[in-house]
Amino acid sequence: MDQVRQETPRTIGRSEIEESLRAQGTVNVLRMGAKGDGQSDDSFPLQNAIDAASAFAAAQGGAIIPVTLAGRRYRTTRTIEIKPWVVLSHGAIVNDLAGVDEAILRLGSPGGPLVRPGGIEGVLVQTRSPNPGVTGFRIDSLVRSSWIRDCMAVMAPAIKEHVDVARHVGFEIVSNPSNGGASGPAGAYQNLIDGCTALSAWAGFRVHTRRSPNGPNNEANANRIVNCNAYSCTHAAVILGPGAVDNVVDVRADGFYRTGTNDVEVLSILENARDNVVTISEEVGDISLSLPKGTPSSQHTVHLSEGASYNVVRYSTQNDGHDRDRTPATCKDQATAKGIVTKNLVQQPARLSSMGGQRTLISFQTPDPVRPRVDKKVEYRWVAPTRTIVTNVAAVLDRKSTGEVQVFVAKNGKFSDSNRITFAPGEGGTARFIRTDPRAAVPIDPQWELAAGEVLVLAVSNSGGEPIAVSVTAAVVCLE
């Protein structure tokens, strides 16, 4: 029967590999038992052909062996692993039953052996799995100098509203931590993802190290993701970290799909991600249309958090930042009690700001709920690097308040009752704003202009009721 797995695949001999190479210059999986009709489970025939080609290459002392899908569509129900010296190409794979945190196509495996080199070219994968956390293409630990070129990952489940829950990833480079926290040969190094597209994923591209009790060991190192696209993703086009180090990324993001949440970030550089060079261009368009009017989309081209350091980001955005019902698509620099964002360089072309400077979002999120009367004011301080104009400030409560919550905005710590946002008991969930005119050449009031070295202070107080968490975002333009 077509739906029954081939638990005992036939053995492919050396002579069959030699004959296929001699006849077609490649190992054709159709000659190795795969059907390619999109209905039969071809998991074992595909893996069998790849294993036989890799063994043949090793016996020859190491030589690239092309394995072709011959332009057909194959149904699989398990991860297909690309072995050393094999390049899989030209076809489509639809996976029905990938498990949690499994990949449809995977270069290497967490436990080895070392793959150097190997590749995937011109392959489309699609998931129909009901399980969350499926990855389209994964370069795993112990993979070196390998590549994925001109491929596409279509990651949308059958019900689009479940995309956020599914948390599928289009392309991933992942490393295992070393045992005992010591550095070792467990990383994915010097690999290439080129000319690829992720469609309808939770995250388009991700580079990170799996967690361990000893923490990440920064072993997803010196990889390149270039000339790539992320389309209709729901959370992020690119996620770097934890443990992404010294990688180069160039991705175009477009058409983010909304599912009712409001945490869209085109690029996230997370904890312990350092020394990465990233170029991001994006057009997120109408992502806030499904949100209630007056709710900010929390749409950020760049999001740095928790120990991100020495990263260089160059970004451009087609969102002009003047939408009155959402915060501008710019840069979010998040400092929390868990870590410090250190010495990152984030650049946007000055022409994109109507005031001739670089738009940036300064975001303060209370690490813990603010307790009434106990926490007098929970503050976040930001030092202006150049002459800076504050264009607006927005605040959001994580739920409805049972007491009065106030958010203060101060220049150099001088608080004023006129520069505050007040939530009355029973309010919350939607944002309140303080605004100046973002198109003005000078601020309406001098209190909204900071000289280089002056301090913008954002503070939160809770005068009564239950503890509550608060997010505050200030949109500023740093003039050059």
What does 282-304 look like in DSSP terms, one character per residue? EE--STTTTSPTT-----EEEEE
Residue 353: per-residue pLDDT: 41
More confident residue, 361 or 426: 426
Most confident of 36-50, 171-185, 263-277, 462-476: 36-50
Mean pLDDT, rounded, for 220-240: 89
Please tell me the distance from the alpha carbon of residue 50 to that of residue 170, in angstroms, as a whole number: 22
pLDDT class of 169 with cuts at 50, 70, 90: very high
pLDDT class of 213 with cuts at 50, 70, 90: low
**Secondary structure element (H or E) that encloses residue 253, with its range:** strand 248-254
Please tell me the distance from the alpha carbon of residue 107 to that of residue 188, in angstroms, as a whole number: 10
Residue 377: per-residue pLDDT: 66
**Would the pLDDT of 161 be above 50?**
no
Cα–Cα nearest to 392, from 412, 367, 419, 365: 419
Residue whose entry in the numeric block shows the structure tokens 């008991």: 425
Residue 319: per-residue pLDDT: 52
Residue 421: per-residue pLDDT: 84
Q: Are 411 and 456 in contact (CB under 8 A)?
A: yes
Please tell me the distance from the alpha carbon of residue 452 to that of residue 457, in angstroms, as a whole number: 14
Residue 445: per-residue pLDDT: 63
**Would the pLDDT of 94 be above 50?**
yes
Mean pLDDT, rounded, for 299-325: 63
Q: Are 45 and 77 in contact (CB under 8 A)?
A: no
Please tell me the distance from the alpha carbon of residue 50 to that of residue 5, in angstroms, as a whole number: 18
Mean pLDDT, rounded, for 185-191: 81
Residue 321: per-residue pLDDT: 40
Number of neighbours of residue 345 by Cβ within 10 angstroms = 10
More confident residue, 118 or 9: 118
pLDDT class of 299 with cuts at 50, 70, 90: low
**Would the pLDDT of 408 be above 90?**
no
Number of neighbours of residue 23 by Cβ within 10 angstroms = 10
Asked which of 6-10, 164-168, 353-357, 359-363 is least confident by mean pLDDT, the reply is 353-357
- Mean pLDDT across the chain, nearest whole number? 75
| Percentage above 90 pLDDT, the chain | 23
Q: Are 314 and 302 in contact (CB under 8 A)?
A: no
Please tell me the distance from the alpha carbon of residue 32 to that of residue 12, in angstroms, as a whole number: 7
Residue 297: per-residue pLDDT: 47
pLDDT class of 146 with cuts at 50, 70, 90: very high
| Percentage above 70 pLDDT, the chain | 66
Mean pLDDT, rounded, for 74-94: 94
Residue 455: per-residue pLDDT: 85
**Would the pLDDT of 431 be above 80?**
no
**Would the pLDDT of 80 be above 80?**
yes
**Would the pLDDT of 443 be above 80?**
no
Mean pLDDT, rounded, for 76-93: 94
Mean pLDDT, rounded, for 7-36: 78
Quick: pLDDT tens for 344-387: 766 654 433 444 456 666 766 675 566 655 555 667 777 787 78
What angle do helix axes 43-59 and 14-24 make, rounded to 10 degrees? 90
Residue 401: per-residue pLDDT: 79
Residue 1: per-residue pLDDT: 35
**Secondary structure element (H or E) that encloses residue 396, with its range:** strand 388-397
| Category of 359 on φ-ψ map: left (φ > 0), alpha (ψ -120 to 50) or beta | beta
Mean pLDDT, rounded, for 390-402: 79
Residue 283: per-residue pLDDT: 65
Cα–Cα nearest to 171, from 224, 243, 109, 131: 224
More confident residue, 105 or 237: 105
Mean pLDDT, rounded, for 121-131: 89
Q: Are 196 and 171 in contact (CB under 8 A)?
A: yes
Q: Where do the domains of the chain lie, and which CATH numbers do they carry?
A: 14-363 (2.160.20.10), 364-480 (2.60.120)
Mean pLDDT, rounded, for 106-116: 80
More confident residue, 166 or 404: 404
Residue 397: per-residue pLDDT: 80
Residue 343: per-residue pLDDT: 65
